[in-house]
C-alpha cells in the first residue's frame, strides 16, 4: 500500500494489531531466546530515481527505545514507512519477531498477519474532526478487529489513562491542544496493541515542555509495557536521558549506531559531531529568546 510522501514520505497514523493477554500492548510472548524484535537487511528505496535508502541494515532489541536522527531527506522517515508497510522497498529483507515479513523487496504471505504488531504515529495526528476522542479511538478496533463495544470502551479508558488523557474521553478533537491531540494519537495506537511503535517527528510541532511530556509517555510505555519504540526526533536531551540506542542517518545510510549516551557524548563521525553541535546551537538560541 502506498500513500503520499512528506520529507522523504509523509502520512497519517497507521496502527495495527491483534488481541492478546495484556490489556494494551503485550500479546503472545516472543519466541524464546530471540533478542532482535526487528531485523532489516540490505534495505533499498528510491523515489523518482533518487536513492533514499542505500542498503540499510538494522536490528532492534525488544523493549528498547531507539532514536533516529539525521538531516532532512536522509532516509529516516522512509525507513519507518517501509517497516510499517506504507511503502514497499526496492530490495532487502525485513524480519519481525523472527518471521519473514519482506523478502527481496516483496511482502511475504505472512506480512498481513505480522504487520498487525506494528503501529505508526506521524506528526500529523489526522483525527476525525467531527468525532470525539472515544469515537476516534474505537473506529479501528470496531471495524478491523470486530470487537464488542464494551471491550473497546474498557481498553479506551485504559489507553487514555496511560497517556494522561482519561478526562477527555468525550472531548472533540477541536477542543484539544496540540500536545493533547498527540497523546490521543498515541492512545489510538495502543488500542490496536502494537509491539513495535514507530514515531515520525511526533513532537516537531509542539512546544518544548509539551514535547517532553509526550516523549515521557513513550518512556513509561517502554518501562511498564515493554513496548519497542523506533522514533525520529531531534530532541537530544530525550535521547540522552531515555533512549537505549542512537542511530544516525546520512545520505540514505546508517553511519553511526551505538548506545545513546556514548553517541551523544563521544560521536565517532565528524558528520554526527557537526549535527549535534548545530542542534545545541539552535537550542541555545531558543533558550535565549525573551
Q: For residues 58 and 258, what is the distance between their CA atoms, to the nearest angstrom? A: 11
pLDDT one-digit tens code per residue, 187-239: 888 887 888 999 998 887 788 888 888 888 888 888 888 899 999 998 888 88
Answer whether 66's CB lies under 8 Å from 258's CB. Answer: no
CA distances for 151 relative to 141, 184, 191, angstroms: 10, 18, 11
Answer whether 52's CB lies under 8 Å from 87's CB. Answer: no
Give residue 133's pLDDT.
92
Give residue 78's pLDDT.
95
Q: Is 181 a residue whose pLDDT tops 60?
A: yes
Q: Which three cell numbers stand for residue 281?
A: 546551537
- Residue 118 neighbours by CB distance under 10 Å: 27
pLDDT one-digit tens code per residue, 97-153: 899 999 999 999 999 888 878 988 887 666 677 789 998 888 877 776 677 888 888
Q: What is the pTM of this model?
A: 0.80
Per this entry, what is the length of the chain?
A: 290
Percentage of residues in the chain with pLDDT exceeding 90?
Answer: 42
Q: Which three cell numbers stand for residue 65?
A: 527505545
Instruction: Count CA atoms within 13 Å of residue 234 on its CB side.
Output: 19
Answer whether 179's CB lies under 8 Å from 102's CB. Answer: no
Give residue 2's pLDDT.
37
Average pLDDT over residues 237-250: 92
Give residue 45's pLDDT.
97
Which is it for the CA torsion 208, 265, 70, 93, positive or negative? negative
Give residue 279's pLDDT.
84
Q: Is 288 a residue whose pLDDT tops 70?
A: no
Mean pLDDT (the chain, rounded)? 82
The answer to which of 14-18, 43-47, 89-93, 276-280 has the lowest mean pLDDT is 14-18
Answer whether 271's CB lies under 8 Å from 250's CB. Answer: yes
Q: Which three cell numbers stand for residue 224?
A: 511498564
Give residue 186's pLDDT.
87
Amino acid at each position: 500500500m502506498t500513500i503520499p510522501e512528506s520529507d522523504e514520505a509523509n502520512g497519517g497514523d497507521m496502527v495495527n494489531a491483534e488481541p492478546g493477554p495484556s490489556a494494551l500492548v503485550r500479546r503472545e510472548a516472543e519466541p524464546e531466546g530471540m533478542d532482535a524484535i526487528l531485523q532489516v537487511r540490505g534495505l533499498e528505496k528510491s523515489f523518482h530515481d533518487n536513492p533514499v535508502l542505500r542498503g540499510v541494515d538494522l536490528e532492534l532489541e525488544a523493549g528498547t527505545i531507539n532514536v533516529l536522527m539525521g538531516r532532512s531527506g536522509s532516509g529516516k522517515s522512509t525507513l519507518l514507512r517501509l517497516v510499517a508497510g506504507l511503502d514497499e522497498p526496492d530490495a532487502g529483507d525485513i524480519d519481525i519477531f523472527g518471521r519473514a515479513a519482506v523478502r527481496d523487496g516483496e511482502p511475504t504471505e505472512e506480512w498481513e498477519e505480522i504487520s498487525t504488531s506494528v503501529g505508526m504515529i506521524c506528526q500529523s495526528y489526522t483525527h476525525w474532526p467531527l468525532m470525539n476522542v472515544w469515537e476516534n479511538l474505537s473506529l479501528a478496533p470496531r471495524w478491523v478487529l470486530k470487537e464488542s463495544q464494551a471491550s473497546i470502551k474498557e481498553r479506551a479508558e485504559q489507553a487514555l489513562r496511560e497517556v494522561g488523557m482519561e478526562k477527555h474521553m468525550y472531548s472533540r478533537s477541536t477542543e484539544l491542544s496540540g500536545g493533547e491531540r498527540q497523546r490521543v494519537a498515541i492512545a489510538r495506537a495502543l488500542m490496536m496493541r502494537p509491539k513495535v511503535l514507530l514515531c515520525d517527528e511526533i513532537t516537531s510541532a509542539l512546544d518544548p515542555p509539551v514535547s517532553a511530556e509526550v516523549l515521557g509517555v513513550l518512556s513509561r510505555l517502554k518501562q511498564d509495557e515493554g513496548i519497542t519504540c523506533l522514533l525520529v526526533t531531534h530532541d537530544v536531551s530525550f535521547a540522552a536521558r531515555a533512549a537505549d540506542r542512537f542511530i544516525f542517518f546520512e545520505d540514505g545510510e546508517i553511519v553511526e549506531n551505538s548506545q545513546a549516551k556514548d553517541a551523544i557524548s563521544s560521536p565517532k563521525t565528524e558528520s554526527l559531531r557537526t549535527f549535534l553541535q548545530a542542534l545545541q546551537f539552535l537550542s541555545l538560541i531558543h533558550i535565549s529568546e525573551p
